[in-house]
Protein backbone atom coordinates (compact mmCIF):
# COMPACT_ATOMS: atom_id res chain seq x y z
CA UNK A 1 0.00 0.00 0.00
CA UNK A 2 3.03 2.29 -0.34
CA UNK A 3 1.64 3.41 -3.70
CA UNK A 4 -1.51 4.80 -2.09
CA UNK A 5 0.55 6.67 0.50
CA UNK A 6 2.77 8.17 -2.19
CA UNK A 7 -0.24 9.20 -4.29
CA UNK A 8 -1.84 10.83 -1.24
CA UNK A 9 1.37 12.76 -0.55
CA UNK A 10 1.52 13.93 -4.16
CA UNK A 11 -2.09 15.19 -3.98
CA UNK A 12 -1.40 16.91 -0.67
CA UNK A 13 1.61 18.63 -2.20
CA UNK A 14 -0.46 20.31 -4.91
CA UNK A 15 -3.61 20.92 -2.87
CA UNK A 16 -2.75 24.53 -1.99
CA UNK A 17 -2.18 25.31 -5.66
CA UNK A 18 -5.48 23.63 -6.62
CA UNK A 19 -7.42 25.59 -3.97
CA UNK A 20 -6.08 28.84 -5.36
CA UNK A 21 -6.96 27.73 -8.91
CA UNK A 22 -10.52 26.93 -7.82
CA UNK A 23 -10.83 30.43 -6.36
CA UNK A 24 -9.25 32.18 -9.34
CA UNK A 25 -12.47 33.23 -11.07
CA UNK A 26 -15.14 33.06 -8.40
CA UNK A 27 -15.63 33.51 -4.65
CA UNK A 28 -16.65 30.16 -3.17
CA UNK A 29 -18.14 28.61 -0.06
CA UNK A 30 -16.21 25.70 1.49
CA UNK A 31 -18.60 23.03 0.23
CA UNK A 32 -18.27 24.47 -3.30
CA UNK A 33 -14.47 24.36 -3.04
CA UNK A 34 -14.63 20.72 -1.93
CA UNK A 35 -17.06 19.86 -4.74
CA UNK A 36 -14.81 21.45 -7.36
CA UNK A 37 -11.76 19.63 -6.03
CA UNK A 38 -13.62 16.30 -5.93
CA UNK A 39 -14.79 16.75 -9.54
CA UNK A 40 -11.11 16.87 -10.45
CA UNK A 41 -10.34 13.74 -8.42
CA UNK A 42 -8.65 15.79 -5.67
CA UNK A 43 -10.04 14.11 -2.59
CA UNK A 44 -10.18 16.49 0.36
CA UNK A 45 -12.10 16.65 3.62
CA UNK A 46 -13.13 19.72 5.60
CA UNK A 47 -10.64 18.81 8.33
CA UNK A 48 -7.82 19.23 5.81
CA UNK A 49 -9.29 22.21 3.98
CA UNK A 50 -10.13 24.56 6.87
CA UNK A 51 -6.58 24.78 8.29
CA UNK A 52 -5.21 25.37 4.80
CA UNK A 53 -7.77 28.13 4.10
CA UNK A 54 -6.93 29.75 7.44
CA UNK A 55 -3.21 29.64 6.70
CA UNK A 56 -3.72 31.07 3.19
CA UNK A 57 -5.88 33.83 4.69
CA UNK A 58 -3.30 34.61 7.38
CA UNK A 59 -0.60 34.84 4.70
CA UNK A 60 -2.70 37.41 2.84
CA UNK A 61 -3.52 35.22 -0.16
CA UNK A 62 -7.23 34.85 0.63
CA UNK A 63 -9.95 37.07 1.96
CA UNK A 64 -13.55 36.27 2.70
CA UNK A 65 -16.99 37.81 2.87
CA UNK A 66 -20.12 36.76 4.71
CA UNK A 67 -23.32 36.18 2.78
CA UNK A 68 -26.76 35.54 4.20
CA UNK A 69 -28.10 32.07 3.52
CA UNK A 70 -31.71 31.23 2.75
CA UNK A 71 -31.24 28.09 4.83
CA UNK A 72 -29.25 28.34 8.03
CA UNK A 73 -26.53 30.67 9.22
CA UNK A 74 -24.58 33.12 7.03
CA UNK A 75 -21.94 31.57 4.77
CA UNK A 76 -18.29 32.54 4.49
CA UNK A 77 -17.19 32.89 0.88
CA UNK A 78 -13.45 32.80 0.21
CA UNK A 79 -11.80 34.87 -2.51
CA UNK A 80 -8.31 35.49 -3.85
CA UNK A 81 -6.70 38.76 -2.83
CA UNK A 82 -4.45 40.68 -5.20
CA UNK A 83 -1.48 39.19 -3.34
CA UNK A 84 -3.06 35.76 -3.77
CA UNK A 85 -3.39 36.31 -7.52
CA UNK A 86 0.30 37.16 -7.77
CA UNK A 87 1.17 34.12 -5.63
CA UNK A 88 -0.99 31.92 -7.87
CA UNK A 89 0.85 33.24 -10.94
CA UNK A 90 4.16 32.25 -9.30
CA UNK A 91 2.82 28.80 -8.41
CA UNK A 92 1.51 28.36 -11.94
CA UNK A 93 4.96 29.08 -13.36
CA UNK A 94 6.55 26.67 -10.88
CA UNK A 95 3.95 24.01 -11.74
CA UNK A 96 4.57 24.37 -15.47
CA UNK A 97 8.33 24.06 -14.92
CA UNK A 98 7.79 20.95 -12.79
CA UNK A 99 5.47 19.32 -15.32
CA UNK A 100 7.95 20.11 -18.08
CA UNK A 101 10.84 18.63 -16.09
CA UNK A 102 8.93 15.43 -15.32
CA UNK A 103 7.86 15.14 -18.96
CA UNK A 104 11.49 15.39 -20.13
CA UNK A 105 12.68 12.87 -17.55
CA UNK A 106 9.90 10.49 -18.59
CA UNK A 107 10.82 10.91 -22.29
CA UNK A 108 14.35 9.66 -21.62
CA UNK A 109 13.20 6.20 -20.58
Q: Got the DSSP string for 47-96? A: HHHHHHHHHHHHTTSEEEEEE--SSSS-EEEEEE-HHHHHHHHHHHHHHH
Contact 80, 88 (CB under 8 A): yes
> If pLDDT is split at 50, 70 and 90, which confidence band does 11 have?
confident
Distance CA(93)–CA(89), nearest Å, equals 6
Write down the pLDDT at residue 46. Answer: 83
pTM of the prediction?
0.86
Nearest Cα residue to 59 out of 94, 99, 92, 91:
91
CATH class for the domain made up of 2-107:
mainly alpha
Residue 32 has pLDDT above 70, yes or no: yes
DSSP bridge pairs for 66: 76
| pLDDT beyond 70 at 109 | no
Per-residue pLDDT at 44 = 83
User: What digits encode the pLDDT tens for the residues 56-95?
Assistant: 999 999 999 999 989 899 999 999 999 999 999 999 999 9
Average pLDDT over residues 32-40: 93
- In the chain, the largest separation of any two C-alpha atoms, in whole Å, equals 56
Amino acid sequence: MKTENTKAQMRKGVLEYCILLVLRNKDQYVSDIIENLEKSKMIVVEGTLYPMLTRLKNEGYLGYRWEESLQGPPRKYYKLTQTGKHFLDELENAWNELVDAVFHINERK
